[in-house]
Structure 1
Amino acid sequence: MLMSDTRAWLEIDLSKISHNVKEIQKLLPSTSKIMAIVKANAYGHGDVACAKELSRCGIDFFGVSSVDEGISLREGGIREPILILGYTPPVHFHQVIQHDLIQTFLSLDYAKKANAWCKEHGVIMHGHVKVDTGMSRLGIITQQQDYRIEEVKEVYHLPHIAVDGIFSHFSVSDGLDEDNKAYTRKQIMLFDQVLKDLEDAGIDVGIRHLQNSYGILNYPDLKYDYVRPGLLFLGATSDDAIDTITHPDFQPIMQLKANISMVKTIQPGVCVSYGRHFTSERISRIATVSIGYADGYPRSVSNKGACALLHGKRVPIIGNICMDQMMLDVTDIKHVKEGDVVTLFGCDGDEKLPIDELTRLAQTINNETFCWMSARLPRIYK
């Protein structure tokens, strides 16, 4: 697909994934491997395309959120183990078996349902048990106030499921203040206590994994079997303004671009876009760009100083962002015309516009901004 073939698109440079994987590996003990999290369509980047490139980089385990996402990878040709990190309704247990997926056993009751279903159908379901060390989301509670280790043991002993691993999830591994560091250290201590109690009971716990992306960046020396990066191999963190203990040289792989559809000259005192939040103070050149909030560019950043790149320079986005279009003030840029390419985040010449700037204006995290990128935006892979 050529840039002139579409109005707006995402450019994704898969060649940078290898570099980012190596940057992650530099942080880890030699015994720790990477389980690449490609849920939510690899945070909008394209799950199958990214997983294939990750596989070429030697990644041998993937994580997704749902059975549908696991099936998408299987149908895309991914043959490595795939862990479903979330809930699969029992009515879809057959798909877990059919597509050779690994299910998270998120509670004792849920594991019993899986066990009963497997007994009825004469199959074995493989899975990892999740323990809740402080996130209070999914998992068997194993916190100081309520330590249900006997429930974890019971899951391992159910006869018609096979527990191949165990994991938990950090809630504040991105926080480097003393309170959050203490909370994370407590989660590590609780997870290690679970492992010890299981091993003391003669249970082979299987694969152990705990660190998410910020767990890798801030607690890289933990020696579990796998780590679970999501954004990191995509070249991003949740926000580059969040400080971390380590500072790898990640390279973002995604850029958002669109074409200019019209350029017009307006007089002083003319209003632009819905709501009349911008009124020209001089004779101005206004470029309309063929992208809007239906494509995932957040309307919430309207009139907050958001910029785009054009001809290697920053230009202001003016007025309210519309569903399918936005307007730029290009008065100070020469020779702007229909069909020119605008970069909404990424690079244009020597000028860079990181997604982090857009994310902070929208008062969210890059995880969400990436996921906003609409399915109607073609992904153009390099």
Structure 2
Amino acid sequence: MSEKYYRDTVVDVDLDAIHENYKMIQNLHRDKTFIAVIKANAYGLGSVTVAEYLAARGVGFFAVATLDEAIELRMHGIREKILVLGAIRPEDINKAIQHRIAVTAPNLDWVTKARENVSDKYDKEVWMHIKVNSGMNRLGTSNIEEINRMIEEIEGQGSFIYEGIYSHFSSADIDSEVNDKEYAEFKRITGAVKKPKYVHIQNSAGALRISGDYCNAIRVGISLYGYYTSEYIEEISEVKLNPSVMLSTKVIDVHTLSAGEGVSYGLDHKAESTEKIATLPIGYADGLLRRHTGYKVRLQNGTESPIVGRICMDSAMISVPSDVKTGDEVTIISREADSEQSMESYSEHAQTISHESLTTLLRRIPRSYNGEDTAFVHNEVLK
């Protein structure tokens, strides 16, 4: 048992796989700035660790979702450029200035209010990336006149630097004409205004399918960690991504059901004949959702066993062969992309996507990191 954790359930993170994915995707866009998206704690894998590892290997630009996430990186010594993709409160602009963080400007009203809130406390500047709404209808503006006014307001404030303009594809991961229409709309809008240092719209799917040179930066999130946004993108991509995550646990108890006996809450699963059950120390409070009942995990001998009965907050039960014993290792998510325990299979069973599956692997599960000259365990509970 590791001295870093006291339950045999762990997420193994392959940092070299993440770095390799970065290199392969960057190779498709040699002349573009790579913005590594590490929001939501690097999709659950640990934003500080991922940022430190990539920064040491040349990545100089990161993106997060909130100002809190950006400040966390600064507090842990990350000195590279950081962009907040969400809209921060205008009254918090001085915190962005203090920590030298780039922020998203979603509309003219936001820029005006941010200007009104700037104090003289910090003799620093803050970088602005204007968000264009090219069809996603989530954040930003498509009004060219408004964008021109925003640029004037930004450049008229001594603390503000107009550094970027960007958007986000709504449908880059599917074979749809919508993608081309949104790209054309983005070009139309940005072509009518002053160009800043960075122009970007390509997310993971966009970076893997579009090689055009209109933009000079790409933003890569889920694919940085080794996962395609859809089967379609996997089929058309030139890049063979390396999955970076394995989720494993060990059997903590075994018992035998007689015919007619049930297991877990509601006794939904009943044995048709004598059946051996193994209990795993992981449950929905860790991110193994109740919807994963029926999902097949892999035993250490290579056989597969289904999760049976309702998944509990702290445990799950599997139906196993007679030779399974306490302490046997069980793989729930494998780094093998084509296995039945791949992240894609795990996600599909729960009718969700890899993004959600990763971010729902919660803080109770320690992360074991391995990479070039790096091997350590981080346990958020015992930090």
Question: What TM-score, normalized to structure 2?
Answer: 0.89
Q: Does 1:295 align with 2:296?
A: no
Contact 1:262–1:287 at 8 Å: present in 2 too?
yes
Change (3 A) 1:308 1:98: same
1:231 deviates by 0.9
Distance across 2 between alignment mates of 1:158 and 1:243: 45
Q: Does 1:225 align with 2:216?
A: yes
Distance across 2 between alignment mates of 1:36 and 1:53: 12
Q: Which amino acid aligns with 1:134?
A: G
Residue 196 of structure 1 aligns with which residue? 191
Residue 79 of structure 1 aligns with which residue? 79
Residue 114 of structure 1 aligns with which residue? 114
1:106 deviates by 1.1
Distance across 2 between alignment mates of 1:193 and 1:95: 34
Q: Does 1:381 align with 2:369?
A: yes
Contact 2:173–2:230 at 8 Å: present in 1 too?
no
Deviations 1:210-246 (A, max 9, x none): 1001111221334421100101111112344765421
Change (3 A) 1:240 1:277: farther
| Secondary structure of the structure 2 residue equivalent to 1:316 | strand
Q: Which amino acid aligns with 1:371?
A: T
Change (3 A) 1:239 1:260: farther
Q: Which amino acid aligns with 2:266?
A: G
Q: Does 1:14 align with 2:15?
A: yes
Contact 2:11–2:248 at 8 Å: present in 1 too?
yes
1:115 deviates by 1.4
Distance across 1 between alignment mates of 2:156 and 2:363: 41
Residue 359 of structure 1 aligns with which residue? 347
Contact 1:114–1:125 at 8 Å: present in 2 too?
no
1:151 deviates by 3.8
Distance across 2 between alignment mates of 1:344 and 1:368: 16
Residue 66 of structure 1 aligns with which residue? 66
Aligned pair partner of 2:329 in 330, 337, 341: 341
Question: What TM-score, normalized to structure 1?
Answer: 0.89
Residue 180 of structure 2 aligns with which residue? 185
| Secondary structure of the structure 1 residue equivalent to 2:326 | coil
Deviations 1:82-141 (A, max 9, x none): 001112123432221121111111111101111122266575432211111111111122
Deviations 1:140-175 (A, max 9, x none): 224xxx874444444444324211111111111111
Q: Which runs of 5+ in 1 are unaligned?
A: none
| Secondary structure of the structure 2 residue equivalent to 1:337 | coil
Contact 2:246–2:334 at 8 Å: present in 1 too?
yes
Change (3 A) 1:138 1:315: same
Residue 247 of structure 2 aligns with which residue? 256
1:275 deviates by 2.0
Q: Which amino acid aligns with 2:131?
A: K
Q: Identity, % of aligned pairs?
A: 34
| Secondary structure of the structure 2 residue equivalent to 1:141 | coil
Contact 1:17–1:53 at 8 Å: present in 2 too?
no
Size of the aligned set, in residue pairs, is 365
Distance across 1 between alignment mates of 2:110 and 2:248: 44
Between 103-112 and 352-361, the greater mean CA deviation after superposition: 352-361
Distance across 1 between alignment mates of 2:62 and 2:44: 16
Q: Which amino acid aligns with 1:18?
A: H
Change (3 A) 1:207 1:230: same
Distance across 2 between alignment mates of 1:81 and 1:14: 21
Distance across 2 between alignment mates of 1:91 and 1:209: 26
Distance across 2 between alignment mates of 1:152 and 1:189: 22
Distance across 2 between alignment mates of 1:164 and 1:61: 13
Distance across 2 between alignment mates of 1:252 and 1:364: 17
Residue 209 of structure 1 aligns with which residue? 200
1:81 deviates by 0.4
| Secondary structure of the structure 2 residue equivalent to 1:236 | coil
Contact 2:151–2:162 at 8 Å: present in 1 too?
no
| Secondary structure of the structure 1 residue equivalent to 2:368 | strand
Aligned pair partner of 1:158 in 146, 156, 159: 156
1:363 deviates by 1.2
Distance across 2 between alignment mates of 1:12 and 1:188: 34
The runs of at least 4 aligned residues of structure 1 exceeding 6 Å deviation read none
Between 239-248 and 314-323, the greater mean CA deviation after superposition: 239-248
Change (3 A) 1:239 1:7: farther
Q: Which runs of 5+ in 2 are unaligned?
A: 371-383
Residue 358 of structure 2 aligns with which residue? 370
Residue 324 of structure 1 aligns with which residue? 314
Q: Which amino acid aligns with 2:298?
A: L
Distance across 2 between alignment mates of 1:153 and 1:79: 27
Distance across 2 between alignment mates of 1:19 and 1:125: 32
Change (3 A) 1:85 1:264: same
Contact 2:91–2:117 at 8 Å: present in 1 too?
no
Contact 2:19–2:54 at 8 Å: present in 1 too?
yes
| Secondary structure of the structure 2 residue equivalent to 1:11 | strand
Distance across 2 between alignment mates of 1:354 and 1:241: 17
